[in-house]
Copies of this chain bind each other. A is one copy, B any other.
């Protein structure tokens, strides 16, 4: 194992990279501290309020003074502290994002989209990775320790106490892909019920006879909507039985659910999965463990349309839920609620469609 730790000097900053001596505080010890507005004012020979104005967009300051201040700031390595400023404006330009299941490529995509979209308005994500197992992660309570402009939750649910606090503090909450019974919480999701209905119709038209559904958790409200749409449409068309198993939205959980369905006495010839990530596990198990031909022996349809669904190894037919559109709606809601905090919760549904690839038999004729 390589790796050498550099020797450090407590007294002198010897790093050749630093050409300007750091500001020293006090006389007892040589402690380096970041430069302040006062340091800049002293070096530039101007007042502290002039420095403050120079770093406030739109504030008035003579061009010559501004130049002197910027040069002094650069020399000292000074940067205006937006957090301090946020105490005055009550805006931090920070949006808290609570997320579980980062291993699911759909949520990695959500983080990426959200980060890029917020950056367009100079805002950034403060990340809270929560556990998918628990409904309300205690770590989420710490969101309140930071002055955030809004809170977005995805694949996780705001605990009641947190929701109450945010409501009182005027911090809007948006849940992506989780319903909420709390009236203060806005939600954005894909077309869950309609997706279930459309997939059922597609599989019926493809001549399938025995149907399986692999859901997330028993408690997942959005998974329930997908399941209800699926089973209800099948029921209307005369199919009374759907074999249901739950994969907890994890790869291993979905693999276990697939073993259960495919190992049963009358295994399904069509399986609808509540996420692409779970569908990948089902494809793996069907092909490798049961030696099944997909879609000859069994059709598999996912939900999300993550980029991996288009890769040849999976070539997954799925119902799309565009991450970019979900994120755009979530940001719109935040901005509406920041401007007008008293409004009621907003609910948005983002349109999707069946994306036909090679993992499911297509309608006949």
Taking the complex as formed, is A209 at the interface, i.e. its CB lies under 8 A from any CB of chain B?
Answer: no
Decide yes or no whether A232 CB sits under 8 A from chain B. no
User: Is A167 close to B, CB under 8 A?
Assistant: yes
B-binding segment of A40-48, A76-84, A195-203, A262-270: A76-84
- CB of A83 within 8 A of CB of B147, answer yes
- Complex contact B284–A312 (CB within 8 A): yes
Is residue A33 within 8 Å, beta carbon to beta carbon, of the partner chain?
yes
A82 to B94, CA, bound (A): 14
Give Cα A7 to B40, complex, Å.
49
A289: B residues at CB distance < 8 A: 312
We find that the number of chain A residues with CB closer than 8 angstroms to chain B is: 99
Report how many copies the assembly holds.
Answer: 2
Residue of B nearest to A122 (CB): B142
B16 touches A183 (CB 8 A): yes
Q: Is A87 close to B, CB under 8 A? A: yes
A103 touches B109 (CB 8 A): yes
- Asked if A207 CB lies within 8 Å of chain B CBs, one says no
B251 and A32 form a contact (CB under 8 A): no
CA distance A312 to B16 in the complex (A): 51
Does A59 belong to the interface (CB within 8 Å)? Answer: no
Task: State in angstroms the CA–CA spacing of A90 and B251 once bound together.
Answer: 42
Q: Return chain B residues, CB-CB under 8 Å to A7.
A: 343-344
Q: Please give, as numbers and ranges, the residues of chain B lying within 8 Å of A119 by CB-CB distance.
A: 128-129, 139
List the B side residues contacting A16 at CB < 8 Å. 183
Q: In the complex the two chains form, is B77's CB within 8 Å of A81's CB?
A: no
Residue with the highest number of chain B CB atoms closer than 10 Å, among A111, A126, A127 = A127
- CB <8 Å contact, A13 and B342: yes
With A and B bound together, what is the CA distance between A191 and B280 in angstroms? 30
Give the CA-CA distance A360 to B91 in the complex, in Å: 54
Given A83-B92, A87-B81, does the pair A167, B105 have CB atoms closer than 8 Å? no
Task: Using CB atoms and an 8 Å cutoff, list the residues of chain A in contact with chain B.
Answer: 1-10, 12-18, 20, 22, 32-35, 76-84, 86-87, 90, 92, 94, 97, 102-103, 105, 108-109, 111-112, 115-116, 119, 122, 124-129, 139, 142, 144-147, 163-165, 167-171, 182-184, 251, 280-281, 283-285, 287-289, 307, 311-314, 336, 340-351
- Excluding A17-B184, A287-B313, 8 further A-B contacts by CB distance (< 8 Å) are A8-B344, A18-B167, A32-B342, A76-B168, A115-B129, A124-B127, A126-B127, A283-B313
